[in-house]
Amino acid sequence: MLFDGYTLDDFFDEMFEREGSPRTHYAALRRRLGAMAPGDLQHRRRAVDLYLRDQGVTFTVYADDAGIEKIFPFDPVPRIVPAEEWGRIERGLVQRIEALNLFLDDVYHRQHILRDGVVDPLLVHTGANFRRRMIGLDPPKGIYIHVMGTDLVRGSDGVYRVLEDNARTPSGVSYLLQSREVLRRAFPDLFADYAVRPVADYADNLRDTLANIAPAGVADPTIVLLTPGVHNSAYFEHSFLARQMGIPLVEGRDLIVRGNAVFMRSTRGLERVHVIYRRIDDDFLDPVAFRPDSMLGCAGVFNAYRAGHVGIANAIGTGIADDKAIYPFVPAMVRYYLQADPILDNVPTLQASRPAEREHILAHLDELVVKETNNSGGYGMLIGPYATAEERERFRARVRENPRTYIAQPVVALSRHPTWVEGRLEGRCVDLRPYILYGNKIRVTTGGLTRVALRKGSLVVNSSQGGGYKDTWVLAPGAAGGPPC
């Protein structure tokens, strides 16, 4: 019933191998959903929405009229990843975060990778997020990226590739942690046939990752989560994570620097802070070191950091690692620093900074996705096949004027997944964002945020542009559909 009229339309479908034929690991789910009455699914969905609203699982959308807080739409059909597929993803992500950390360490010290001609130095030095103040600074334990969210997509060939890394203040993990709970409440029967790996240990792991960078000799470090405040679009997540970890949620105005150490204003006076998990951009972190007009940060915190009196996660200056102009070089970084072949490949990318590739981009604007290298959230992007001639001309001029600022990729026909749309299931494009923690060891979440583009035919999955999310099930080895590891 629910699957009536479900078509694949030449997309790689997560659930179906061919029309009517589910993949092995989806067979049980297909059966259960197939047996469900549409009214039942509808009813449970409404319960989900109410629960999310009661919990306040909201996301603030700035461009939208309908009020400031919106519920991030949750789709009840889970995405399933079999164990051996996940194993490969996990190994590939570990490689990537290691390589990127080594890159940052290199680029803020001896810059060997630039001298050896592997990465164009101009791209690094003109990077908006390359922070000169970090040159020569040794962050605690030599780690720069403590939390990373990497976006994976697969095209018609079914191979997972990296679309982008998010190495500054990646968000979304709270939805991942919530979605398991939500699905368990509303659809407990779906879990009956599967051994799904848990995600609930994320908060503990994150806390350990943060404690790992406390100044030496501190037995029980005070860790805080620094948020821009209640009006920030990701505030729910800041509050959620602080709660889960049992640490104070602070704003810039709660902190003060005295004698190059960081303190928070408490009812008992000033209390020392050892580690800051900051969800504020570098630019706004310290009006003395960075933007002087910032009201969100704390004056002097960078000096305390430089003096080794406070740990900051993620380190300042990681933005050069997830700069879209640097992204094409990440597989080369894996080879250079780890002497290994990258397990995960990038989506094929053209760089406008290279003359030959630039010409190709300009000649094929109607076929490519062109991205600005200093933007995120799906903004500042041209999706060639869907753009008007006028939009393409505008981008042509911009690419010519400022080539370093643009890369281009072929339109990836993202894989699709059955998604609840107005009374039945239809295929909608999805991506996958696992999170990686770099503490005393590298840990990849056993699960990821599966974002889904809710608008028909849309390839843009970002929440800020009308996307939704699903629960992601990584199966235990030997579970339904997966051979034992």
Binding stretches for other proteins (CB under 8 A) = 53-56, 229-230, 235, 239-240, 242-243, 248-251, 253-254, 256, 264-267, 270
Nearer to other proteins, 74 or 103 (CB): 74
Nearer to other proteins, 87 or 248 (CB): 248
Nearer to other proteins, 58 or 205 (CB): 58
Strands 442-453 and 433-438: antiparallel
- To the nearest whole angstrom, how small is the minimum distance from the Cβ of residue 202 to other proteins? 16
Nearer to other proteins, 270 or 421 (CB): 270
Q: Is the dihedral of CA 70, 76, 77, 82 positive or negative?
A: positive
Long-range contacts of 450-455 (CB under 8 A, 24+ apart): 450/79, 450/417, 451/172, 452/75, 452/417, 452/419, 452/428, 453/414, 453/428, 453/429, 454/73, 454/75, 454/419, 454/421, 454/428
Among the listed residues 430, 433, 324, the one whose alpha carbon sits nearest the alpha carbon of residue 381: 324
Distance CA 331, CA 340 (A): 10
- To the nearest whole angstrom, how small is the minimum distance from the Cβ of residue 68 to other proteins? 11
CB 448 within 8 A of CB 150: no
**What is the helix (H) or strand (E) element at residue 353, kind and residue range?**
none
CB 69 within 8 A of CB 58: yes
- To the nearest whole angstrom, how small is the minimum distance from the Cβ of residue 54 to other proteins? 5
- To the nearest whole angstrom, how small is the minimum distance from the Cβ of residue 222 to other proteins? 11
- To the nearest whole angstrom, how small is the minimum distance from the Cβ of residue 254 to other proteins? 5
Nearer to other proteins, 41 or 249 (CB): 249
Strand spans (E) along 100-254: 147-154, 160-166, 223-226, 249-250
- To the nearest whole angstrom, how small is the minimum distance from the Cβ of residue 301 to other proteins? 17
Nearer to other proteins, 264 or 334 (CB): 264
Nearer to other proteins, 137 or 256 (CB): 256
- To the nearest whole angstrom, how small is the minimum distance from the Cβ of residue 306 to other proteins? 25
Distance CA 316, CA 134 (A): 7
- To the nearest whole angstrom, how small is the minimum distance from the Cβ of residue 249 to other proteins? 5
CB 176 within 8 A of CB 240: no
Residues counted in the chain: 485
CB 326 within 8 A of CB 124: yes
Nearer to other proteins, 273 or 432 (CB): 273
- To the nearest whole angstrom, how small is the minimum distance from the Cβ of residue 243 to other proteins? 4
- To the nearest whole angstrom, how small is the minimum distance from the Cβ of residue 228 to other proteins? 12
* For residue 205, cis peptide bond before it (omega within 30 degrees of 0): no
Nearer to other proteins, 55 or 303 (CB): 55
Distance CA 75, CA 383 (A): 25
- To the nearest whole angstrom, how small is the minimum distance from the Cβ of residue 373 to other proteins? 35
Distance CA 25, CA 34 (A): 15
State the DSSP string of 201-245: THHHHHHHHHHTTSPTT-SS--EEEE---TTSTTHHHHHHHHHHH
Nearer to other proteins, 95 or 174 (CB): 174
CB 479 within 8 A of CB 83: yes
Nearer to other proteins, 225 or 382 (CB): 225
Q: What are phi and psi of 110, to 5 degrees?
A: -85, -15
CB 368 within 8 A of CB 361: yes
328: Cβ–Cβ under 8 A, 6 or more apart, which residues? 346, 349, 351, 407
